[in-house]
Structure 1
């Protein structure tokens, strides 16, 4: 008779994970397969005859990291050796991208607490600034070469003026533009999603005008390679002050 065990127990026994918690994480990330099928739960029953695979892990700590990674490549931005700031750091996806692209230091700024991934929290190149509202904080202790922005519930029109004094000479900004937080007529949103293509185009045009009127020059613009967590189309701007 074939022995029946919980999937998490098998993963531990095979030293594929170090704890039940890690087993839960890799299963929920969709990285574990049983007989070629994605595992449903770390508690599901498997037998000795089942073929269990653990596939490659995520490249970054946060899904949103793909947005900044694509922007740095598309806009040909070199952050090697630079001091940077990540506004709206959350779990640290953007922070990790900046480090992987060679940043010397990243100020990880977020209004929340305890969200930043542990490996980034322990990285000496990361200055953790939790419970910090960019709209109310004092200037950083030094000028920075690049500022990435990924904020929710707040328009970039409020954030950009606040971070302008942080930029060093020749410094630039990569800002994630989220139409759902820029639109004034909330009736256009369907369960928080702005599906109207024309409305999105109008918002982009209006923001482009705002940038010109407030001393920003556009170096690059692209649609995000992935949508927001709720399914919203988002955009990335590469900006410098003029």
Structure 2
């Protein structure tokens, strides 16, 4: 995208002032911001998606799924309690198998064991989803979970607008998720901050 003096210009042959400010900005690489978050995790931990069978729990628009596919995933199972919100680009992609109107908590398994599962859920504790998802994986499978403190902290710790601002509460939430994961037999391999904050201003972690 080309911007001239702060305004986007998309018409070929547009005449410009000699002293104008020209900026070229990269457009969105993925169908939603989720792809940027997942890409940061893939880079931080040198994770490869090539030929992977993946699952995207809480697919929503499909940012995570788009990122997986662009990084070489062979197939992605997109799971969401909603319906009709997945981007058309992904709906028509034969590598995407959509399971809409589906609550991951009640899904006993998938047609094949995934190598990689990404979780981005709202209005529910991540711990409730991990309980079920960990049983889907193959022996060497990995889970990437987006930790949203506003859905993990107690009501007293969630401030105005649903935002958790306390670093202490952030730490407590992360510790509970890690402890729960270990109790399930999972082995935590890393933790990073999301490169983007949530829509309301919440810090998120992966």
TM-score norm. by structure 2 comes to 0.88
More strand as a share of residues:
1
SS in 1 for 2:72: coil
Question: How far apart, CA to CA, are the structure 2 residues paired with 1:56 and 1:215?
Answer: 42
Displacement of 1:79 in angstroms is: 1.6
Correspondence for 1:192 among 158, 162, 170: 162
Q: Does 1:111 align with 2:81?
A: yes
Displacement of 1:54 in angstroms is: 8.4
CA offsets, 1:190-209, max 9 Å, x none?
Answer: 21000111111122122222
* Structure with the greater alpha carbon radius of gyration: 1
Q: Does 1:180 align with 2:135?
A: no
- Name 2:55's counterpart in structure 1: 85
Q: Does 1:148 align with 2:124?
A: no
Alignment of 1:46-125 (within 5 A): 56-125=26-95
Residues 157, 169 of structure 2: 8 Å contact kept: no
SS in 1 for 2:143: strand
Alignment of 1:193-232 (within 5 A): 193-232=163-202
Question: How far apart, CA to CA, are the structure 1 residues paired with 2:44 and 2:74?
Answer: 21
SS in 2 for 1:217: coil
Question: How far apart, CA to CA, are the structure 2 residues paired with 1:186 and 1:106?
Answer: 38
SS in 1 for 2:98: strand
Question: How far apart, CA to CA, are the structure 2 residues paired with 1:96 and 1:170?
Answer: 23
CA offsets, 1:134-189, max 9 Å, x none?
Answer: 11234111111000000001111100111122101101100001111001234532
- Name 1:44's counterpart in structure 2: none
Considering only aligned residues, what root-mean-square deviation do their CA atoms show, in Å?
2.0
Give unmatched runs, 5+ long, in structure 1.
Answer: 1-30, 40-47, 237-242
TM-score norm. by structure 1 comes to 0.75
Give unmatched runs, 5+ long, in structure 2.
Answer: 9-13
- Name 2:97's counterpart in structure 1: 127
